[in-house]
Amino acid sequence: MASVVTFGEIMLRLSPPSNLRFVQADSFDIRFGGGEANVSLALSNFGVETSFVTKLPNNDIGQACINELRRYGVDTSNIILGGDRIGIYFLERGASQRGSKVIYDRAGSSISKADIKDFDWDKIFNNAKWFHLTGITPALGSNVAEICIEACKKAKEKNLTVSLDLNFRKKLWTSEEANKMMSKLMPYVDICMANEEDAEKVFGIKAKDSNIIEGKLSHEGYKEVAKEITERFKVKKVGITLRGSISASENLWSCMLYNGSEYFFSKEYLIKIVDRVGGGDSFTAGLIYSFLNGKDDREALEFATASSCLKHSIEGDFNIVSIDEVMTVYNGDASGRIQR
């Protein structure tokens, strides 16, 4: 059985080829992706047995999605079939000073119509060690939020480590709605992940002396953010990705980790972006892998940061990299030289 269980929505992703705009496109590239599924797949590439839980339509598109997960070794036996459709998101990839754009077509998706009786968490969590979800999933509807709470309760009964990525999506709910619901989930959370603005959007915890539009991020400000999250919700660790946006094509990338007493900041990478979607999920997967394998906080942070750095070089949501490739960057070789 899987060591790590993740729960959420996986969507069909449709993107114009290359950097074409929506209005220019006469075809779309097809991929699948979603926060929790991205974590499961990245962990599977690291050799971790992982199971992704969701609800998909019982049709050829749902099966194609399942096939894609199986292709990379993710256990799909806990996916429920039913409902009318898979959610879709359209992605227009930005370049230079033009930012990327996302359009959702996910209303009425199978997972958004799921019932709490659809999932047998006793069975799903059999022999599991870790449960992960994101703030995207409870935003899909009050019914899905109740499923998230039920899953977290059962995970804690079985002594699983629970991790949660705040992942605020303004197109799904308001900050007020997010605050109310996520505050109900946080008492079950051991490790909380966020990007440079999630804590502000969800909990009103803003990093001082930082401006994400200008790419100015204060380490001291994010220390305060992590400390407040830890003290307010009694979580054990907080991980935050720190994206310094120079443009849509070039970012500075680093991450931090706080364990309740010590702050750790990773090395910073200058990255040329192929596809930034899933960057935070790849960081989360790197942390989970590291902690399951006994790495200390500094090692875990550097491994997760190197892993998420590499994700930006890969098209699609999924971080298709090996441990050896991550360790090459981890050990200081970020040159991108050809491997022969």
**Amino acid symbol at 50:** T
Q: Are strands 50-53 and 4-7 parallel, antiparallel or unpaired?
A: parallel
What is the torsion angle, in degrees rounded to the nearest 10, for the CA atoms of residue 13, residue 18, residue 24 and residue 28?
Answer: -30
Q: How many angstroms separate the CA atoms of 271 and 334, rounded?
A: 10
By the 10 Å C-beta count (0-12 exposed, 13-18 middle, 19+ buried), 184 is classed as: middle
Average pLDDT value for residue range 139-155: 97
Helix runs in the chain, H state only: 35-45, 60-71, 121-124, 142-157, 175-185, 198-203, 219-233, 279-292, 297-311, 323-330
Concatenating the DSSP letter of every residue in 204-273 gives --PPTT-BTTTTB--HHHHHHHHHHHHHHH--SEEEEEEEEES-SSEEEEEEEEE-SS-EEE---EEEE-
Residue 88: strand, helix, or coil: strand
Residue 190 near residue 236, CB atoms below 8 Å: yes
Residue 252 near residue 243, CB atoms below 8 Å: yes
Average pLDDT over all residues of the chain: 94
Share of the chain above pLDDT 90, in %: 87
Average pLDDT value for residue range 122-137: 96
Q: Hunting for tokens 């290359």 — which residue is that?
A: 18
Q: How many angstroms separate the CA atoms of 31 and 38, rounded?
A: 12
Residue 1 has pLDDT above 60, yes or no: no
Q: How does pLDDT run across 202-261, given as a tens digit for each residue? A: 999 988 877 766 677 888 888 999 999 999 999 999 999 999 888 989 999 999 999 999
Cβ contacts of 317 within 8 Å, gap of 6 or more: 13, 31, 32, 33, 34, 37, 38, 277, 278, 281
pLDDT score, position 245: 86
Q: How does pLDDT run across 15-57, given as a tens digit for each residue? A: 999 889 999 999 999 999 999 999 999 999 999 999 999 999 9
Residue 332 has pLDDT above 60, yes or no: yes
pLDDT score, position 196: 79
Phi, psi of 132 (to 5 degrees): -130, 140
Q: Mean pLDDT lowest for which of 105-119, 129-143, 204-218, 280-294?
A: 204-218
pLDDT score, position 300: 97
Q: How many angstroms separate the CA atoms of 211 and 244, rounded?
A: 9
pLDDT score, position 121: 97
Q: How does pLDDT run across 48-63, given as a tens digit for each residue? A: 999 999 999 999 999 9
Distances (CA, A) of 178 to 8, 134, 137: 16, 12, 11
pLDDT score, position 65: 98
Q: How does pLDDT run across 69-103, given as a tens digit for each residue? A: 999 999 999 999 999 999 999 999 989 999 999 99
Q: Are strands 263-265 and 191-194 parallel, antiparallel or unpaired?
A: unpaired
pLDDT band at 2 (very low <50, low <70, confident <90, very high): confident
73 C-beta neighbours (distance < 10 Å), count: 15
Share of the chain above pLDDT 70, in %: 98
